[in-house]
Amino acid sequence: MNIFIRFSRAALLLCMVACTTVETTEVSEKEEPKNPLMLHEKEIDDLISKMTLEEKVGMIHASSSFTSGGVERLGIPELTMSDGPHGVRPEHGRDWALDNEGTDSASYLPASITLASTWNPELGYAYGEVLGSEANKRGKDVILGPGINIMRTPLNGRNFEYQGEDPYLVSKMAVGYIRGVQDQGVAASLKHYLANNQEIKRSSINVEMSERALREIYLPGFEAAVKEGNVYTVMGSYNQFRGQFATHNEYLINDVLKDEWGFKGLVMSDWGAVHDTKQALEYGTDIEMGTDLNQMPNIDYSKFFMGDTVLTLVENGTIDEALIDDKVRRILRVMYATHMFDERPGGSINTPAHQKTAEKVAEEGIVLLKNDGFLPLSKEVKKIAVIGANADYSMSMGGGSSQVRAIHEITPLKGIKAVVGDKVEITYAPGFEISKEEAVNETLVAEAVKAAAEADYVVYVGGWNHGFGTDWNAGRYDMEGVDKPSLKMPVQQDELIKKVIAANPKTAVVLMGGGAMDVSQWLADVPAILFAGYPGMEGGTALAKILFGDANPSGKLTFTFPKSLEDSPAHAMGEYPGDADTLNVHYNEGVFVGYRYNDTYNVEPQFAFGHGLSYTTFELKDLKISKTGNTLVGNVTVSNTGDKEGAEVVQIYVHDVESSVKRPVKELKAFEKVSLKPGESKNITFQLNEDAFKYYDEAKHGWILEAGDFEIWVGSASDDIQLKETVTM
């Protein structure tokens, strides 16, 4: 398979016009299918009819590290892809050399966990717009995000790249993101389909789960992304699912994604996730990516599973050429939808607007977990000690494939200095080193304690980190390819925090990381705690604005903070990381993931799903429900009863009073974020159709709405329900 040199689009266009007479069939408005993937079926028929089998096969596997093959003769360009979910990754050349061309910087957006913590779908769209525009500017046709795998265990090394534990919240945030990306003329890639919920043995484990867990927890985010977000591409995951690799899985891809959901775009494998030619051809892989990683350094793209072997299989009748045609058709649909045959609007990189979006997402995504009136901090002091290596550590190039060469990264320390100005002396003591060794450095500890004692108050910034830069084998925390060893923070930060607060109890703790960690040893002794996720290039500014009251926090947790790992369902009821010999991982906890487990099994969390405080106070009142058939319309009034402007996320949960199967006590089925001035009230309306009340019945192989009473619970957190109304379905 000869590697085509990447032609400029103009040259390809010229060739395209010259080489093919494309009939443009007039499609009247009313007939025009609204799906951008389905507007050029005639042109695609025409192109396929002109292609040789070899040309078709050249399109269904990689032609370099991040491209799949084109057909130069017919003016079909290579499809160019790039990571990642929160920024366009540095260039890797065609053969994985991390070519620091010096032109491959990009905006380093907050990680997905921080985006999701905003609970603001409009920001999801704005975030996608930035990502799509920058991918476009960097010459990419596909950006490999969003990642939306459900947070089944707090130990998953890639939780930072995903959006938490609740499928409804994930579906709302993912749809906005995808539309934002694709409105820039670039394809999003929904990943990782499906059940890639741990990194330990990710390329070999076999996930077993009930059909009900699949339908109620693990599929809904992907289903919404396909049906509502119209995502153009899906990435099949590394793991096996019920005995077949997910990226060529008859049930997940042929039956569910393509038949049941009617997905018209393309499925690419994760990089190196294809293991079998015939399965890949028959069970839904449209493009095989990344197998070159297993061939290094002698890469030969014709030797891919979906390479020259396919020619033989078609020529000897084992495989019907129509199968290959469908793959090529899906690829060409994405090419047309991303304007690769006409003019795609220009993109831009790191504009002030992009930076503003990055800061807004960070500001709305930082979660105030605890505040005994200590925050916001006063600037009218002499000395503030900033303690903790996370305060001055660049995260952007860490984490694995989602790395970004940030154009700049405002760390918490930089942000605090900028917001406080030179009126106040800011001292900094790392207190620990972010390194492979993880050894406690007593000198650093002593320095930190001294700095704390000498300051008016302390801002501690710690938690997890992305392992160590791009060293893939060194990461032990929020990093692709590894899971965390426990909920404990690295380098015994617990001890350090205890010593710091002993030296100065006026300490606010800021936790960075992809999910929950163990805070039990010092939680009671600190007056304020914030969860900052990975807040991106403007994160330090957003954090400082919140710390000093120039912004009012409005983030809410998208996952449960368990008191201990044993309190987490995958560890209390399920298997994790699975059987070392059989490689099976049984999701025995079923649908009882996250708060669904805590509520139903009465396990009190450290901090609950949906929890997040504000510098003002809110009141919910006047819940009214009206029902037409099986559709509910609800009204509730939310008021800002405090003295600061702020935003509240009104959360609506459904509780089934009596059911024939064991159901979670409540499930999130609607939410709305409302900004209010002091004293202002707003009436919000929400609608619940009958799907909001159904459960999946395995015996009946379908969704069931069981007649009877349900309660609509409305609150500002899953453990702060303030209003209830009963309805009969």
Active site residues: 270
Contact 229, 179 (CB under 8 A): yes
User: Least Å distance between CB 121 and ligand GLC?
Assistant: 23
CB of 646 to ligand GLC, least distance (A): 36
> Binding marks (x or -) toward ligand GLC, 52..91, rule CB under 6 A?
-------------------------------x--------
For residue 73, give both structure tokens: 């003769």
Task: Please answer whether residues 113 and 514 qualify as being in contact, where contact means their C-beta atoms are separated by less than 8 angstroms.
Answer: yes
Nearer to ligand GLC, 7 or 96 (CB): 96
Instruction: Check binding of 686 to ligand GLC (CB under 6 A).
Output: no
Nearer to ligand GLC, 83 or 409 (CB): 83
Nearest distance, CB of residue 355 and ligand GLC, angstroms: 25
Q: Compute the distance between CA of residue 62 and CA of residue 69 in angstroms, rounded to an integer.
A: 6
Q: Residue 303 CB, nearest distance to ligand GLC (Å)?
A: 19
Distance CA 416, CA 671 (A): 32
Shorter beta-carbon distance to ligand GLC: residue 216 or 270: 270
| Residues in 420-479 at the binding interface with ligand GLC, rule: CB under 6 A | none
Judged by beta carbon, residue 112 or residue 640, the one nearer ligand GLC is 112
- Which of 270, 288, 538, 599 binds ligand GLC (CB under 6 A)? It is 270
Q: Which of 140, 133, 176 is nearest to 334 (CA)?
A: 140
Least distance between ligand GLC and beta carbon 265 (Å): 16
Contact at 8 Å (CB) between 478 and 162?
no
Asked if 288 touches ligand GLC (CB under 6 A), the answer is no
State the helix-helix crossing angle for 121-137 and 352-365, rounded to 10 degrees.
140
d(CA 661, CA 656): 10
Least distance to ligand GLC, CB of residue 273, Å: 8
End-to-end CA distance of the chain: 60
Q: Please, which residue, 223 or 270, has the CB nearer to ligand GLC?
A: 270
> Does residue 483 bind ligand GLC (CB under 6 A)?
no
Question: Considering the rule CB under 6 A, would residue 191 count as an interface residue with ligand GLC?
Answer: yes
Number of residues engaging ligand GLC in binding (CB under 6 A): 6
Question: Which sign, positive or negative, has the C-alpha torsion 198, 204, 205, 211?
Answer: positive
Q: For residue 153, give the amino acid letter.
A: T
Cβ 516 to ligand GLC shortest distance, Å: 22
Q: Is 144 in the site for ligand GLC (CB under 6 A)?
A: yes
C-beta closer to ligand GLC: residue 83 or 567:
83
Q: How far apart are CA 354 and CA 408, in angstroms?
A: 12
* Cβ at position 3, least distance to ligand GLC in Å: 19
Closest CA to 641 of 722, 712, 711, 713: 722
Query: Cα dist. 280→190, 204, 244, 286 in Å?
Result: 19, 16, 11, 8
User: Is 401 an interacting residue with respect to ligand GLC (CB under 6 A)?
Assistant: yes
Question: What is the DSSP code string of 405-456?
Answer: -BS----HHHHHHHHHGGGSEEEEE--S--SSS----HHHHHHHHHHHHTSS
Nearer to ligand GLC, 270 or 292 (CB): 270
Query: Which CB, 270 or 363, lies closer to ligand GLC?
Result: 270
Q: Is 239 in the site for ligand GLC (CB under 6 A)?
A: no
- For residue 714, the Cα-to-chain-centroid distance in whole angstroms is 26
User: Cα–Cα distance between 681 and 95 in angstroms, integer?
Assistant: 58
Closest to ligand GLC by CB, 144 vs 413, is 144
User: Which two tokens mark 90?
Assistant: 């540095």
Q: How far is the CB of 147 from ligand GLC (least distance, A)?
A: 6
Instruction: Report the residue number, 271 or 595, with the smaller CB distance to ligand GLC.
Output: 271
In angstroms, the CA 662 to CA 318 distance is 47
Residue (of 130, 6, 152) closest to 538 by Cα position: 130
- Please state, in angstroms and rounded to a whole number, the distance separating the CA atoms of residues 717 and 722: 9
Q: Which of 222, 271, 615, 653 binds ligand GLC (CB under 6 A)?
A: 271
Residue 612 to residue 116: CA distance in whole angstroms: 13
Q: Considering only residues 629-668, where is the footprint of ligand GLC by CB under 6 A?
A: none
Plot region of 389 (φ>0 → left; ψ -120 to 50 → alpha; else → beta): alpha
* Of 271 and 592, CB closest to ligand GLC: 271
Our CB check for ligand GLC shows the closer of 202 and 354 to be 202
In the complex, minimum distance from the CB of residue 267 to ligand GLC, in angstroms, rounded to a whole number: 14
Min separation Cβ 123 and ligand GLC, Å: 22
Radius of gyration of the chain (CA): 26
727, 712 in Cβ contact below 8 A? yes
Angle between helices 539-547 and 412-420 in degrees, nearest 10 = 50
Q: Least distance in Å: CB of 95 to ligand GLC?
A: 14
Q: Do 659 and 695 contact (CB within 8 A), yes or no?
A: yes
Q: How far is CA 123 from the centre of its chain?
A: 14
* 8 Å CB contact between 63 and 72: no
Residue 357 belongs to what H/E stretch? helix 352-365
Would you state the structure tokens that stand for residue 158, as one six-digit string?
A: 């890639």
Distance of CA 285 to the CA centre of its chain: 22
- Using an 8 Å Cβ cutoff, are 605 and 560 in contact? yes
**Positive/negative CA dihedral, 242, 245, 246, 249:** negative
Residue 728 φ/ψ, nearest 5 degrees:
-110, 125
SS (HEC) of 85-107:
CCCCCCCCCCCCCCCCCCCCCEC
CB of 621 to ligand GLC, least distance (A): 45
- Of the two residues 198 and 640, which places its CB atom closer to ligand GLC in the complex? 198
Q: What residues line the site for ligand GLC (CB under 6 A)?
A: 83, 144, 191, 270-271, 401
